[in-house]
Amino acid sequence: MAHQLRTAFTKNHKAFALAATSTATLALTLPTSAKCDDEILHAPTYNWDHLGLVASYDCASLRRGFQVYRQVCATCHSIQRIHYRELVGVTHTTEELVAMASEVDVVDGPNDEGEMFERPAKLSDPLPSPYANEEQGRLANGGALPPDLSLMVKARHSGQDYLFSLLTGYCEAPAGKEMMPGLYYNPYFPGGAIAMPPPLNDDGVEYEDGTPATISQQAKDVVQFLNWCAEPEADSRKRDALTYMTVIGMTALATGYYKRFRWSTLKTRSITYVK
């Protein structure tokens, strides 16, 4: 097969070269031309503090981000994959989270009589969802379902940059762009019309650490928090990687030393037996 291909190529190499060039030209031109009528603005790349090789999440920012989520986004969005206990030591202390959880009632059961009952939430419960089911969520939002935000940073292209741009990108629709009722113009959302009303306002929340709650500050904090939700293990993964790399590096040095200086003398010696 390979031989036949090679023969065919030598015979028709001009035709092959032409085909390859035109495919490459097509590949280069296609995405560009598709982007023109995409009606989508690509999010710029932001310099997030937590993205460095040895950088960790900023816990103060995570705490503020969780506050923004609870006070703003939680009206419409769930974060089902995160349980209160996972936030211990990340955003709040155990006592604070026990108190926060106990304010929410969850359905549990069945009890000994086969009845479902309500009880205050515990640390082992997931964060509460605003709607009982998908249909209720759609009904409350003009037919659009607010998606679960647990893995949202991973679910969208250029995750945190897109989310930050989406939250800060609401503006007037350009002239000539018809907006249907219940849709808002946002150039970062595919198609430009999103069913989510602009969620953030300046001073929409009051931060307990005194940070000015501008729209961009709230967006940065909540996106960092959502990033943590999607990758809670990021910090420990980086720490473990650093430990492994150090140990592997030291092992490599020791191996090199033994190979070069200890073992080589044994390997290169020559033993001569004299009669």
As annotated, the binding site for heme c includes: 73, 76-77, 196
Helices 13-36 & 2-11 angle (0-180, nearest 10): 90
- Which helix (H) or strand (E) segment is 120 a member of? strand 117-120
147 sits near ligand HEC (criterion: CB under 6 A) = yes
Q: Which two tokens stand for residue 107?
A: 């359905």
Distances (CA, A) of 79 to 29, 42, 100, 125, 201: 40, 26, 16, 12, 22
Q: Are strands 184-185 and 193-194 parallel, antiparallel or unpaired?
A: antiparallel
> Contact with ligand HEC (CB under 6 A): which of 60, 144, 151, 173?
144
Q: Rounded to the nearest 10 degrees, what angle do helices 59-71 and 215-230 cross at?
A: 100
Q: Which residue, among 48, 55, 46, 47, has the nearest Cα to 241 in the 3D structure? A: 55
Question: For ligand HEC, which is the closer residue by CB, 13 or 154?
Answer: 154
For ligand HEC, the closer CB: 77 or 92:
77
Window 191-250: residues binding ligand HEC (CB under 6 A): 194-197, 199-200, 222
CA dist., res. 159 & res. 77, Å (int)? 17
Residue 141 within binding range of ligand HEC, rule CB under 6 A: yes
Nearest-CA neighbor of 167 among 237, 54, 72? 72
Of 43, 62, 82, 152, which one interacts with ligand HEC (CB under 6 A)?
Answer: 152
Residues from 55 through 94 that contact ligand HEC (CB under 6 A): 68, 72-73, 75-77
Binder among 156, 185, 207, 234 for ligand HEC (CB under 6 A): 156
Residue 146 contacts ligand HEC per CB under 6 A: yes
Interface segment toward ligand HEC; rule CB under 6 A; list 16-24, 54-62, 161-169, 228-236:
161-169
Q: Does 121 bind ligand HEC (CB under 6 A)?
A: no
Measured from the CB of residue 219, what is the shortest distance to ligand HEC in angstroms?
7
Q: Give, as one character, the DSSP assignment of residue 109.
A: -
Using CB under 6 A as the criterion, which residues of the chain lie in contact with ligand HEC when the complex forms?
A: 68, 72-73, 75-77, 141, 144, 146-147, 152, 156, 163, 166-167, 189, 194-197, 199-200, 222
